[in-house]
Chains A and B, each alone.
Chain A
Amino acid sequence: MSTAPAKRKPADYKSGLKPIWCPGCGDFGVLASLYRAFAELDLDPARTVVVSGIGCSSRLPGFVSTYGFHSLHGRPLPVAMGVKLANPELDVIAVGGDGDGFAIGAGHFPHAARRNVDITYLVMDNEIYGLTKGQVSPTSLTDQRAPSTPWGNLETPLNTLAFAVASGASFVARGASFNTKALTELIVQAMEHRGFSYIDALSPCVMFNNHQEEWKELVTDVAPDHDVHDKAAAFDLALKGGFKLGIIYREQRETLGQKYQALVEASKASDVDAMLDAFSARKGAAIGKPTA
């Protein structure tokens, strides 16, 4: 009698590099949830890619035993898109922080979402710039005092959940680093979801913006009767305040990769010689636009 190969354990996804994060950083909870989710999904480390941008949280790929791509500030989404479109067999997850994703990288977010690229995007949201020592981020609260806002933050925080729903993300959820069991489950569901999945993970910065205790007080689960397929209800939930944990929206929609696959299959197969034929001075050229 043959036995099924043993399922991988969370520890199997540890790279052996020690995280550089400050003691108590919320990102530890996110990383632990990620290890558990990967184990639960039994992902093959050789076929999994973790892509990040720049910042404290973006050092995460180094701590995971899968393939990793530690890219540039704000760029994890286009990089992850390229990885996934080039090899649809891979499981691709992009990770980063709120500054990375919603300041410098904000231009990429709606496009990844509307394209419905089959990747998961996990943002460790601490409402601050940690690595550069505490300046405000796009999700920082109004009036917050920080080194760059000595008179208080004059700006309104970005509602990333509403942004995600508005942009066409097909899976939108919020978790918290201090609730690893639920966050693990969200990551599992997001990675199982076919399409662009966005998870906002509350992840306190203990050095510069420690909201851990307040957040623990404030968070409640999304009501069980919330209809995750109802976009208006999802907006409503996103706009009412950010402290509902769970899935707020999901829809099943063809992914960009599936559409390209269909396009490739529908295309008339060709090769370089046939392409050169189309430029032939004698037989190919026809009046109109230069032959394409």
Chain B
Amino acid sequence: MTARSSVVIRLAGESGEGVISSGDILTQAAARGGYWTQTFRTYPAEIKGGPCMYQVRMGGERIYSHGKRVDLLVCFNQEAWDLHWDSLAPDGVILYDQTAVEIPEAYAARARPVRMEQLAREIGGSLRAKNMVAVGAVAGVISFTTTPIEELVLRRYAHKQGVADANIAALRAGGDEGADLRGSLAIVDPVEVEEDRILLSGNQAIAVGAVAAGLRYFAGYPITPASDILEWLSAKLPQVGGITIQCEDEIASISSVLGASYAGAKAMTATSGPGLSLMTEMLGYAGTAEIPCVIVDAQRGGPSTGLPTKTEQSDLQHALYGGHGEAPRVVIAPTTVEDCFWSAIDAFNYSERYQVPVILLTDQGLATRMEVIHRPDTSAVELWQRATAAGVQGGYRRYELTPDSVSPMGIPGQEGGQYVATGIEHDEHGHPAYTPENHVAMQTKRWAKLEPLRNGIVRHESYGDERPDIAIIGFGSTYGAVREAIDLARAEGLSVGAFYPRVLGPFPAERVEAFCAGARRVVVPEVNFTGQLARLVRGECGLRVESHAKCDGLPFTAEDVLDVITERTPA
């Protein structure tokens, strides 16, 4: 049997049963062993109980999506089998706890019972060692050495030798259980590299990227799936002299962020759709008063409270246009966990240089998935600072109409920079002014200053054919699945390429048009109901596009996208 380049492992059971920790152990051990990984999980909105699933895809080459067909399904309970059997690949292997699960006869040949509970109690000394039995069994099937797992266990229980020994015993016992399936899903050994890769989630990548960008004030209100940005920064920001505060609500969060930024600090908040709704009034204020700030929107299923633990890309229009009047803002959609780090830096840079709120648009899938990425080279981080009123001599005009429409900002503490920030329409001095001429001049200034971001300085992602027959336009987290689908489609001889604008507002219409110029089909996959990006491309570029919007709470897989590209009926 030839070794595979990557394997999709899905662990499923009841929330609280060890599914998540098994997945975490496996992911971290894989990363430690030199594999590339990407994870995907679904979990109930309830705190305890309900079905949960943790999928780990690991392989010897860079992985861009979580995968579709499950190669190895681990069932902790009957419901896990009932919910997931139809995701199995045709040659997929099943491991299950025989005391809890019955497997139909037709699958018996590739299913192996594992005495998870029994061995956990007898050898691991506690039911809590169940996850180690499961992980040991998985490691055997994929021919994954248990060494990195044992290293992790020793590290974790460095001060409790007994617990470490019990866990390692449970791990090894699990490995013996699936002995006759050993190696049936062997993965190729990872190429030995010197490079120090890192393993983290999209949320964590944004948080650490923001620190690299100079973040010194963070305020937020807990909301799924953005909360771990608040939690991580609560622990880390004081270490660089910054402050993280959990506010009473999202309105206070963004208000205090604007206060901090007005006072000179780089400031950020993070939320999901319901929180962005609450912040929208202050978002408009930031645009009008020209106060830099970064707002992370880790989108989740909507509308309203919607699907708190499921993914969706349905806040695009809200991010672009939400609010009363026409308030400028920049919208950036990172494509991968690695891109989350760099996008956070871009967000602060654009925000500071153009004195504008920047929305970082991720989603539950990208925010919570763990990915092995290249360690960012922090020496390559370039930081832009806002123009300030330091040294101005008399006659300071906060909202001066300059050639590039960016006006130096007075920072409290700077002599002579005093002004009043206000959402009321104002003249160059910041004084209330309502004349028609002034309003036109100020609206023009506030929008014109963003033009360099439309087609100029920003990075965009493209992949596949440069002048494709089938052009894919997408945004954000769908990038990985699209990228893998393009590889598959090109292997079938199709001409396919994708263009991912990283800045969606202002929209790079010219670049999208140029990319699609020779295309027979323009395909827009996105995870929402109404096809918001497709509408944007139609409106901005006047292109005839096919919308492939889906809103089942799940991210696209490469196979989903391939079906769209080839116009095949989904399997």
Binding site for B on A (CB under 8 A): 17, 45-49, 51, 61-62, 65-72, 75, 77-87, 89-90, 107-108, 111, 260, 263-264, 267-273, 275-276, 279-282, 284-292
Taking A51-B259, A285-B152, A290-B199 as known contacts, 16 extra A-B pairs with beta carbons closer than 8 A to each other, sorted by chain A number, are A70-B424, A71-B255, A72-B255, A75-B255, A75-B282, A82-B257, A83-B263, A84-B259, A89-B413, A263-B238, A273-B378, A275-B239, A279-B208, A280-B199, A281-B372, A287-B28
B259/A80 in contact, CB under 8 A: yes
CB<8 Å pairs between A and B, sample of 8: A48-B412, A62-B422, A70-B420, A79-B262, A107-B251, A267-B238, A270-B239, A287-B153
Q: Which of B228-264 contact A (CB under 8 A)?
A: 228, 231-232, 235-236, 238-243, 245, 247-249, 251-253, 255-264
Counting chain A CB atoms within 10 Å of each CB, the highest count among B199, B232, B378, B423 belongs to B199
Given contacts A72-B423, A285-B32, contact A85 B415 (CB under 8 A): no
| Alpha-carbon separation in the docked complex, A239 to B25 (Å) | 59
| Alpha-carbon separation in the docked complex, A19 to B537 (Å) | 48
Q: Which of B198-231 contact A (CB under 8 A)?
A: 198-201, 204, 208, 211-212, 216-217, 219, 228, 231
| Alpha-carbon separation in the docked complex, A46 to B417 (Å) | 7
Cβ proximity bits B513-552 to A, threshold 8 Å, 1 near / 0 not: 0000000000000000000000000000000000000000
CB distance from B422 to the nearest CB of A (A): 4
Q: Which of A46, A77, A272 contacts B418 (CB 8 A)?
A: A46
| Alpha-carbon separation in the docked complex, A77 to B258 (Å) | 12
Q: Which of B196, B420, B423 contacts A282 (CB 8 A)?
A: B196
| Alpha-carbon separation in the docked complex, A272 to B344 (Å) | 13
Question: Would you call B432 an interface residue if the criterion is a C-beta within 8 Å of the partner chain's C-beta atoms?
Answer: yes
A90/B263 in contact, CB under 8 A: yes
Q: Which residue of A lies closest to B285 (CB)?
A: A72
Given contacts A72-B282, A87-B264, A287-B21, contact A79 B258 (CB under 8 A): yes
Q: Which of A71, A282, A292 contacts B232 (CB 8 A)?
A: A292
| Alpha-carbon separation in the docked complex, A253 to B255 (Å) | 25
Q: Which of B1-51 contact A (CB under 8 A)?
A: 21, 24-25, 28, 31-32, 34
| Alpha-carbon separation in the docked complex, A280 to B34 (Å) | 11
Q: Which of B198, B243, B412, B431 contacts A49 (CB 8 A)?
A: B412
| Alpha-carbon separation in the docked complex, A275 to B413 (Å) | 32
Q: Which residue of A lies closest to B153 (CB)?
A: A287
B249/A107 in contact, CB under 8 A: yes
Given contacts A86-B265, A280-B196, A290-B24, contact A79 B32 (CB under 8 A): no
Contacts of B247 in A (CB 8 A): 78, 111
B208/A79 in contact, CB under 8 A: no
| Alpha-carbon separation in the docked complex, A192 to B228 (Å) | 38
Contacts of A271 in B (CB 8 A): 240
Binding site for A on B (CB under 8 A): 21, 24-25, 28, 31-32, 34, 152-153, 155-156, 196-201, 204, 208, 211-212, 216-217, 219, 228, 231-232, 235-236, 238-243, 245, 247-249, 251-253, 255-265, 267, 281-282, 285, 370, 372, 375-376, 378, 410, 412-424, 431-432
B251/A70 in contact, CB under 8 A: no
Contacts of A89 in B (CB 8 A): 413
A107/B156 in contact, CB under 8 A: no
Counting chain A CB atoms within 10 Å of each CB, the highest count among B238, B245, B251 belongs to B238
B421/A46 in contact, CB under 8 A: no
Q: Which of B152, B208, B252 contacts A287 (CB 8 A)?
A: B152
Q: Which residue of A lies closest to B432 (CB)?
A: A62
| Alpha-carbon separation in the docked complex, A74 to B549 (Å) | 39
Q: Which of A85, A111, A280 contacts B248 (CB 8 A)?
A: A111
Contacts of A288 in B (CB 8 A): 21, 24, 156
B256/A79 in contact, CB under 8 A: yes
Contacts of A17 in B (CB 8 A): 431
Contacts of A79 in B (CB 8 A): 255-256, 258-259, 262
